[in-house]
Copies of this chain bind each other. A is one copy, B any other.
Amino acid sequence: MRADAQSRPVRADAQRNRARILAAAEEVFADGGPRASTEEVARRAGVAIGTVFRHFPTKTDLLRALMKQLLEQVTADAAALLAHGDTATALFEFFAQLVRRTAANRTVVSLLGAEGLDVPIAGPVTSLTDAVRELLARGQRAGAIRADVRLDEVMALLESLCQGALQRGWDEDLRERTLGIVFAGLRTPVSSRS
């Protein structure tokens, strides 16, 4: 494996460590949030702290790498639903999936507009937005989602519910019921409107 045509290959131990660090960071930040220390990540990865900083020169870089990885997974979920899901309800399924994933992974908090630390992630967000746009359009074409619902509203709800799902005291049941209300608001009503 060559990193570049005129450079040497990336050493095997370096690749291994990079992977270990990412995995450890996922766990550590999952419970503890982005305020958890880099030292803790190093400890859980079984690596010295200098090694973490060799791979990710800044804590923000590490967070960004995690974000990117998660966004890719989530975007893949969306793509799968676009390919195989029921057109009418694919958006709801995706919505529920994302919130569920977030609930299990505090780091995603910063997903669409970081909070405590600044974690710029412009690129990956775009593809997620694209996927949601398509999911929304299909639901609307199928008549399942109100025609006047806009993309930014869906993204805003997604963001809000992901944030909410992180709070203490949200169990799975409450999460599903709350999502149910939001979905009812998105769904095409038979007649009443205001």
A residues with a Cβ closer than 8 A to B are 33, 35, 112-113, 115-116, 146, 149-150, 152-153, 156-157, 159-161, 163-170, 174-175, 177-178, 181-194
Contact = CB atoms under 8 A, between A and B. Distances in A.
Contact of A167 (B146, B159, B183): B159
A153 B181 contact: yes
Contacts of A165: 160
Nearest to A177: B153
A191 B194 contact: no
Majority secondary structure of chain A interface residues (helix, strand, loop or mixed): helix
Contact of A191 (B152, B186, B191): B191
A164 B33 CA distance: 18
Contacts of A153: 174, 177-178, 181
Contacts of A156: 164, 167, 170, 174-175, 178
A116 B33 CA distance: 8
B190 A185 contact: no
A189 B186 contact: no
A190 B35 CA distance: 47
Contacts of A181: 149, 153, 157, 182, 185-186
B167 A112 contact: yes
B174 A184 contact: no
Contacts of A146: 184
A167 B169 CA distance: 22
A124 to B, nearest CB: 17
